[in-house]
Structure 1
């Protein structure tokens, strides 16, 4: 599932815009840490999601997985890029579970981290999850 890690400037701007819009919808009554994510798929479609907390903390879902699961429910299977946005000064970082879910749909992909000032950091899944385990091992 190798993908071209380059995306157009327009796609990058749209991913960032949708991720920023998504954190405004986050349900975070416990952590008060809203996160938004948007995922770009090989089809060109973009899906956004926010984190949704639950009083039973184990049932909380991260924004990144929310976005990916919505896309998969619509038939997407090849992840190209992810944008993750937060309203704080510090940059977000996807948790280990989200990194592994990215890996299910891409051997590598662009990951765009966006803080509350609109600053961005670019990285890649292979940097965040080196020597990863994926579907091709099964």
Structure 2
């Protein structure tokens, strides 16, 4: 699976407005809904928040990967959001998060979210990848990094 295939053109937010992670989740979920990636915003938000209760999805280095598996998801998707000023996110390294990669996967998709999460996390350990994404100004620039 190529991560580039899980992103979608409208799924890049370069100026997140939310001031905390719940507001950012709502903002990103709205984009997923408007682009028919999910059918039910509340159902998917519940899946995201339930996963957040299990442990932090802020993986460090200014990156968070919240993810949810829900029957309201139409197609496996990654949506990207960037907030230059950063968010208090309860990250593993206690730093603010500026890059959020939200993963949405349909229930019953044979651990597809784990495959996507694993591949994304392995990619984001490379400093040059993270810097390339952080400095990107368009979806095309981000996809080129991947």
Shorter-chain TM range is 0.3 to 0.5
TM-score (norm 2): 0.32
TM-score (norm 1): 0.33
